[in-house]
A = this chain, B = another copy of it.
């Protein structure tokens, strides 16, 4: 089997797993840095390996528009094109179609949209989105779905969820037809903040049968309580023997909280985006490197961190680079933040293995939140 749960926590629903893909085995729970356009912003493949990243994301929408699937296929696939030999999962591009493209028209067949790059017209059908990801040659393929906005009327959420289920069926059919035997196909649960719709969506997905189950449509602006409720109710219903992927999440708190509910996979642009904005994660809390206090601070960004940034440079240097608008600032910041998230997942996995999840979480977040209001949701 490609997925194995190696250990279940007795303290909560966290689980330690192993996911086999054509490009290697991933230990779960895992954090996947986002490489939308065939590169994780600011980082080279070597940087990513230095940061310990085991799997990264690509984006079908972006890569389809630029450089185009044919270019990547000719290059020998996305791995070879971007010189990354570890696993890749591609997001289906649905979220981007709905959020980035100028005009869109949702029909049963698929979605018509205009490219955000040049205004050209395109049609994404479930079949096409599967074919794109086939052409990219990635390890994990996501079904095409509609990601409903937040807030969203019940009627719309229900129609949208049902459409996504029908699209999921067509994705599965196309995936089986392509039958390359190498990729894994994940279905996506939708249904907004409506528990019963979420449940219906999941049951529909399970009926179709996928290699893994993702939860989409969260982290779209909803209150954290709502996300917590949806996830707390949904996760116990998800197949225990399949990987569970919470899309677009999250912060260090969210990773701890949701891994504790049994989520196996996460992705988020936070480490790279925040890095480019000078917002850095450290074991002792967030650091805004733009703050004047760091101009004369010759200590490492995070003294407990072993990343290239922390091993070689001071906060004063990072503050200088950022202020001076130097490219190296963006890279060193992103590298550290990705390392932080990857390391955080390592700590989570270790705490499952050593049966001290809650204690480790409390200690980690206690240090991380120094001086900040405690999150008492979990």
The interface of chain A, by Cβ under 8 A from chain B, is 37-39, 41-46, 62, 66-67, 71, 74-75, 81-83, 295-296, 298, 308, 312-314, 316-317, 319-321, 323-324, 326-328, 330-332
Q: Whole-angstrom distance from the CB of A361 to the nearest CB of chain B?
A: 34
Give 21 A-B contacts (CB < 8 Å), ordered by A residue. Answer: A37-B320, A37-B321, A38-B324, A42-B327, A42-B328, A43-B328, A44-B328, A44-B331, A46-B308, A67-B316, A67-B320, A67-B323, A71-B295, A71-B316, A74-B298, A74-B316, A75-B317, A83-B313, A327-B330, A327-B331, A331-B331
Known: A67-B295, A314-B81. A41 touches B327 (CB 8 A): yes
Q: Is B83 in contact with A316, judged by CB distance below 8 angstroms?
A: no
Contacts of A74 in B (CB 8 A): 296, 298, 316
Q: Is B82 in contact with A326, judged by CB distance below 8 angstroms?
A: no
Q: Is A66 in contact with B323, judged by CB distance below 8 angstroms?
A: yes
Q: Whole-angstrom distance from the CB of A221 to the nearest CB of chain B?
A: 26
Q: State the number of copies, please.
A: 2
Contacts of A327 in B (CB 8 A): 41-42, 327, 330-331
Q: Whole-angstrom distance from the CB of A377 to the nearest CB of chain B?
A: 35
Contacts of A37 in B (CB 8 A): 320-321, 324, 326
- CA gap between A312 and B46 in the complex, in Å: 10
Q: Which residue of B has the minimal Cβ distance to A44?
A: B328
- CA gap between A62 and B66 in the complex, in Å: 38
Q: Whole-angstrom distance from the CB of A319 to the nearest CB of chain B?
A: 8
Q: Whole-angstrom distance from the CB of A109 to the nearest CB of chain B?
A: 29
Known: A37-B326, A66-B324, A323-B66. A316 touches B75 (CB 8 A): yes
Q: Which residue of B has the minimal Cβ distance to A332?
A: B44
Q: Is B320 in contact with A66, judged by CB distance below 8 angstroms?
A: yes
Contacts of A46 in B (CB 8 A): 308
- CA gap between A295 and B71 in the complex, in Å: 8
Q: Which residue of B has the minimal Cβ distance to A46?
A: B308
Contacts of A316 in B (CB 8 A): 67, 71, 74-75, 81
- Give 15 A-B pairs besides A37-B326, A74-B298 with Cβ atoms closer than 8 angstroms: A37-B320, A37-B324, A38-B324, A39-B321, A39-B328, A42-B327, A44-B328, A44-B332, A66-B320, A67-B320, A71-B316, A75-B298, A81-B317, A81-B320, A83-B312
Of all A-B residue pairs in the complex, the 9 with the closest CB atoms, nearest first, are A67-B320, A83-B312, A42-B327, A37-B324, A39-B328, A39-B326, A75-B298, A81-B317, A83-B313
- CA gap between A325 and B81 in the complex, in Å: 17
- CA gap between A324 and B319 in the complex, in Å: 27
Q: Which of A46, A74, A319, A326 has the most CB of B within 10 A?
A: A326
Q: Is B320 in contact with A38, judged by CB distance below 8 angstroms?
A: yes
- CA gap between A33 and B54 in the complex, in Å: 34
Q: Whole-angstrom distance from the CB of A226 to the nearest CB of chain B?
A: 35
Contacts of A323 in B (CB 8 A): 66-67
- Residue from the list B82, B312, B326, B332 in contact with A41, Cβ < 8 A: B326
Q: Whole-angstrom distance from the CB of A239 to the nearest CB of chain B?
A: 37
Contacts of A312 in B (CB 8 A): 45, 83
Q: Is B75 in contact with A314, judged by CB distance below 8 angstroms?
A: yes
Q: Which residue of B has the minimal Cβ distance to A314?
A: B75
Q: Which residue of B has the minimal Cβ distance to A68?
A: B295
Q: Whole-angstrom distance from the CB of A135 to the nearest CB of chain B?
A: 15
Q: Which residue of B has the minimal Cβ distance to A313?
A: B83
Contacts of A308 in B (CB 8 A): 44, 46
Q: Whole-angstrom distance from the CB of A82 to the nearest CB of chain B?
A: 7
Q: Whole-angstrom distance from the CB of A58 to the nearest CB of chain B?
A: 12
Q: Whole-angstrom distance from the CB of A41 to the nearest CB of chain B?
A: 6
